[in-house]
Amino acid sequence: MSLTRRDLGRLALASVPMAGSAAISSKFHGVQIGAITYSFRSISDVEEIIRAMVKLGLSEVELMSNHAELLAGAPASALAPPGGGRDAKKGPPAPGQAAARRNTPEARKAREELRQWRLSASMDKFKGVRKKFTDAGIDIHLLCFNMNDATTDDEIDYAFQMAKALDAEAMSSTTQVSVSKRVAPFADKHKLMVGFHNHANIKDPNEFATPESFAAAMSYSKYHGVNLDIGHFTAADYDALAYIRQHYRRITNLHLKDRKKNQGANLPWGQGDTPIKEVLQLMKKEKYKFPANIEYEYRVEGADTVTEVGKCLQFCKDALA
């Protein structure tokens, strides 16, 4: 029987212990480098994602809610695709496509199934999820819980409860400015920061992309902040370095990727216009405490996810050397 490169990679990961790895560290010169589990979306087994992070030496994670819920026993059939509806092969949906997908009978049925599971889920299950990562030497710094206009108020409250059960220091979310206003009273109630994630759609004022969209959300609550994706910010033709210098107190975390300006494509790191190295050096110089998380999105034919995330991590190490 012949084995593919992916098969060999999985065999290698299977040999990585899940416990006793507390010595791993991906903090370099005071800068915490981590990854969002969306980066490993090609891996369906969350336990395998943990092993991949241990193998790479990543000690901090931004845990996607679908991955947390899978580990907590949620029905896989009810969970949305990783990334809040993004297709791993095609990227973000075009304007209007995401809403259309949510309104199909199948999507509505899955949403209701998941909502019912969420409202009956014991928070103790998420404490068990936290233990899996802690035993592997990985800190769950953030819970990524993406929201939209179909997210109910009880689900928003559930998200904050889940974040607390996971002992996360903050939440991140891909959502809309109008939804962030609904989130505000829950952030105030739970006293937990929420960093809103930007894309590059500068034409829709309800989408997070511009400094003004962030400012609107931050006006709703002192617990509202920014999950700044420096790749998308660059593609929208904004200056990530200047924004970080001005707003670092409200930044929950960064997403690292490399894109070209003027709505340019995701590219292997070092080939785009995003000032990844300069941002990391700024974090080192100013001793910013928020993490910089790898979000692997560029595509290379035949590439292995773990190998590519490893290349991104090495880029960070070299930039901070």
Q: In this predicted model, what pLDDT tens digit does every residue of 19-50 receive, in sequence order? A: 444 589 999 999 999 999 999 999 999 999 99
The pLDDT of residue 259? 98
Q: Provide the percentage of residues in the chain whose pLDDT is more than 70.
A: 86
**Tens of pLDDT along 136-152?**
999 999 999 999 999 99
**Cβ pair 30, 284 in contact under 8 A:** yes
The pLDDT of residue 6? 44
Which domains occur in the chain, in start order? 23-320 (3.20.20.150)
> Locate tokens 């960070």: which residue?
316
**Sequence letter at residue 47:** E
**Tens of pLDDT along 69-113?**
999 999 988 885 543 444 433 344 444 545 555 678 888 899 999
User: Per mean pLDDT, which range of 5-9, 156-160, 252-256, 261-265 is the poorest?
Assistant: 5-9
Q: How far is CA 307 from CA 32, 91, 119, 130, in A?
A: 20, 20, 38, 25
**Average confidence score pLDDT of the chain:** 90
The pLDDT of residue 74? 95
* pLDDT for residue 2 is more than 90: no
Angle at which helices 124-135 and 153-165 cross, to 10°: 40
Residue predicted with more confidence, 224 or 17? 224
Mean per-residue pLDDT, 252-281: 98
The pLDDT of residue 78? 86
Mean per-residue pLDDT, 224-242: 98
The pLDDT of residue 80? 59
Q: Where are the beta strands (DSSP E) in the chain?
A: 27-28, 31-36, 60-64, 139-144, 170-173, 193-197, 224-229, 251-256, 258-259, 266-267, 292-294
pTM of the model: 0.88
In the beta sheet, which residues pair with residue 140? 61
DSSP conformation letters of 135-173: HTT-EEEEEE----TT--HHHHHHHHHHHHHTT-SEEEE
128: left (phi over 0), alpha (psi -120 to 50) or beta: alpha
The pLDDT of residue 21? 47
Burial of 281 (0-12, 13-18, 19+ CB in 10 A): middle
User: What are the backbone angles phi and psi of residue 216, rounded to the nearest 5°?
Assistant: -60, -45
Burial of 317 (0-12, 13-18, 19+ CB in 10 A): middle
**Cβ pair 138, 100 in contact under 8 A:** no
* pLDDT for residue 307 is more than 50: yes
* pLDDT for residue 16 is more than 80: no
* pLDDT for residue 208 is more than 60: yes
* pLDDT for residue 278 is more than 70: yes
The pLDDT of residue 20? 45
Instruction: Measure CA 132 to chain center.
Output: 18
**CA 311, 314, 318, 319 torsion-angle sign:** positive
Highest mean pLDDT among 1-5, 76-80, 307-311: 307-311
Nearest to residue 272, comparing CAs of 282, 264, 284?
A: 264
Residue predicted with more confidence, 19 or 118? 118
* pLDDT for residue 61 is more than 60: yes
